[in-house]
């Protein structure tokens, strides 16, 4: 039983949290340390085959391979390299000696991939990526990768004043059914280079991605380019206004401005190409807004935003990949009110795992982890089975409960109080989710149940507030299991004095599991609105939750 996991986090959240900060995995002796999202060391990774070469009875027909490197300063250095047999997928070992790599291989066709570093290997100033899709070995080979003959990889955006903030170059290829990629990443002060290669008809791709920012930090570009079958001769990639999409992006706060800037990370999916998932990073403060232009041809994006305040990092992740239309205009907001809990539930190995997300946002398709620290947070998570108490967890963010495998009706009850330095909202939660569950196969730590989850939002400002003395429209949605029963009853109430008194909020159907609520904000208030929500479906699932200070009111 893997009791060490403390939270059920979606695959998207894990990717967004881990991919941009992973440690380079080239040769262990040259592996840089984990890097900060905004200002850390460059990243490089050389992919390897999992197939070992066969034992050789006789090496009489083998040929010597000698690989040399020269860095941008003209110094002889041993490159990082992999040599893989295209027929078998076997990777042949290369031994470093001084400034050379040497190996012995039989005659045949190979893929050769290499990286030449300039400067401190833990903080290089230049990374040159070499790729030869088909190196034919019919005799001894002596090859030099001279970074001085490589071409710097750059991009051109529609803005003459935008400059590079973050970049990646990657070779992705398939050999004997294995996808193998090699990656180099740069920052200002670290250049990326490559050499054009011959063409091949097998799966072989070269990708380049670059984030650019304007000096005022109000406009940014996230550009992605791909070439199939070779490393292209022209390594300056041009993005025109016609092949970009504009996403007007708001980085909202939870009522307290961020301390400095944090990273806005966009993961990249080159459709049909694969490779290592990489993210482009730009800086942003909260609250603020940016015009972010994205490449829109054969590429998808998935974003996260992290901002720092009171020594806590506040992250929010988009859960699904997004494909933008070239020339189109879109909008995106992070940390969008109203705030309140959702819960992930897994059931397996004789245990139900309950993992609340304390301050999720009003947006469907987003997952906010800002409440997932116990500092300043107290409370309990309680589980009932068929009306009988199973157990109580004094950790307000997690409950692990031993239960029989048979199907039963469960109630997960959350009671939480919060006083934090990074949010003015969600100071108290009383919530109850009712659902039916039986033990399921697979990883019990994955979110296996889509319980009824309210998502309530509206035209809030970038500090999570609405205007007083007006009737304010709320968009109310209920998330539920795919294929589950539709919501059959629903109600919403609001309070302007932290729950001392309540008023009903009329709801009008505006689509499947969607409603519009009109709440009249009084002139006299304490600066916040509490929300009390109830919903149930035709299958016996229900949710009741009261959130104190779900959003704010301006004075």
What is the DSSP code string of 65-91?
A: EEEEEE-TTS-EEPPEEEEEETTT-BE
CB 525 within 8 A of CB 496: yes
Question: What average pLDDT does the segment 83-102 reach?
Answer: 96
Spatial distance between the Cα atoms of 169 and 347, rounded to a whole number of angstroms: 41
In this model, does residue 33 exceed pLDDT 60? no
In this model, does residue 308 exceed pLDDT 90? no
Least confident piece of the model among 29-38, 140-149, 468-477: 29-38
Question: What average pLDDT does the segment 44-67 reach?
Answer: 87
Q: What is the pLDDT of residue 170?
A: 97
Q: What is the pLDDT of residue 440?
A: 85
In this model, does residue 17 exceed pLDDT 90? no
Q: What is the pLDDT of residue 37?
A: 56
Please tell me the class of the 340-553 domain: mainly beta
More confident residue, 4 or 163: 163
Q: What is the pLDDT of residue 162?
A: 96
Q: Report domain extents, the chain.
A: 12-49+124-132+146-334, 340-553
- What is the residue-averaged pLDDT of the chain? 90
Question: What average pLDDT does the segment 354-362 reach?
Answer: 93
Q: What is the pLDDT of residue 448?
A: 76
Query: Is this model's pTM higher than 0.85 or not?
Result: yes
In this model, does residue 250 exceed pLDDT 90? yes
**SS3 of 307-325:** EEECCEEEEEEECCCECCC
Report residue 38's pLDDT band, with 50, 70 and 90 as the boundaries.
Answer: low
Question: What average pLDDT does the segment 12-39 reach?
Answer: 34
- Output the six-digit token pair for 108: 């045949």
- The label of the residue with tokens 């984990």 reads 34
Q: What is the pLDDT of residue 155?
A: 97
Report residue 441's pLDDT band, with 50, 70 and 90 as the boundaries.
Answer: confident
Q: What is the pLDDT of residue 430?
A: 98
Alpha carbon distances (Å) from 69 to 127, 150, 466: 12, 12, 61
């Amino acid at each position: 039983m893997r009791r060490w996991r403390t939270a059920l986090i979606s695959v998207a959240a894990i990717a967004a949290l881990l991919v941009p900060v992973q440690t380079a995995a080239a040769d262990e002796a040259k592996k840089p340390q984990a890097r900060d999202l905004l200002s850390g060391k460059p990243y490089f990774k050389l992919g390897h085959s999992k197939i070992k070469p066969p034992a050789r009875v006789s090496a009489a027909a083998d040929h010597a391979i000698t690989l040399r490197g020269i860095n941008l300063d003209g110094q002889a250095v041993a490159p990082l390299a992999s040599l893989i047999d295209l027929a078998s997928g076997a990777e042949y070992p290369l031994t470093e000696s001084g400034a050379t790599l040497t190996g012995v291989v039989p005659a045949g066709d190979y893929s050769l991939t290499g990286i030449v570093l300039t400067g401190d290997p833990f903080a290089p100033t230049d990374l040159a990526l070499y790729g030869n899709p088909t190196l034919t070995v019919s005799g001894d080979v002596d090859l030099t990768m001279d970074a001085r003959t490589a071409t710097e990889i750059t991009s051109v955006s529609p803005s003459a004043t935008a400059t590079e903030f973050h970049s990646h170059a990657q070779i992705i290829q398939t050999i004997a059914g294995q996808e193998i990629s090699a990656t180099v990443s740069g920052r200002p002060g670290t250049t990326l280079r490559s050499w054009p290669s011959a063409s091949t008809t097998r799966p072989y791709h070269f990708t380049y991605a670059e984030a650019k920012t304007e000096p005022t930090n109000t406009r940014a570009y996230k550009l992605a380019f791909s070439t199939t079958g070779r490393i292209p001769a022209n390594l300056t990639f041009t993005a025109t206004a016609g092949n970009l999409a504009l996403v007007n992006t708001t980085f909202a706060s939870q009522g307290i401005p961020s301390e400095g800037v944090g990273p806005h990370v966009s993961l990249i999916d080159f459709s049909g190409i694969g490779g290592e998932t990489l993210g482009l990073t730009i800086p942003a403060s909260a609250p603020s807004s940016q015009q972010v232009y994205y490449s829109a041809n054969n590429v998808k994006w998935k974003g996260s935003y992290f901002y720092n305040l009171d020594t806590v990092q506040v992250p929010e992740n988009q859960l699904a990949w997004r494909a933008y239309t070239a020339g189109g205009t879109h909008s995106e907001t992070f940390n969008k009110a109203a705030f309140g809990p959702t819960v992930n539930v897994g059931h397996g190995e004789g245990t139900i795992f309950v993992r609340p997300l304390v301050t999720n946002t009003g947006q469907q398709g987003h997952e906010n982890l800002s409440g997932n620290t116990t500092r300043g947070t107290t409370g309990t998570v309680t589980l009932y089975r068929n009306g009988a108490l199973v157990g109580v967890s004094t950790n307000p963010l997690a409950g692990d409960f031993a239960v029989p495998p048979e199907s039963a009706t469960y109630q997960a009850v959350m009671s939480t109080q919060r006083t934090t330095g990074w949010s003015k909202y969600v100071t108290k939660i009383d919530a109850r989710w009712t659902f039916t569950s039986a033990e399921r196969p697979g990883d019990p730590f994955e979110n296996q149940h889509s319980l009824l989850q309210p998502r309530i939002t509206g035209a809030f400002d970038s500090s999570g507030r609405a205007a007083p003395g007006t009737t304010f429209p709320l968009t109310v949605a209920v998330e539920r299991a795919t294929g589950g029963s539709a919501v059959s009853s629903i109600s919403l109430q609001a309070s302007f004095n932290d729950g001392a008194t309540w008023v009903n909020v009329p709801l009008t159907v505006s689509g499947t599991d969607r409603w519009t609520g009109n709440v009249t904000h009084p002139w006299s208030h304490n600066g916040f609105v509490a929300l009390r929500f109830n919903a149930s479906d035709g299958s016996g699932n229900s949710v009741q939750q009261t959130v104190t200070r779900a959003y704010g009111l301006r004075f």
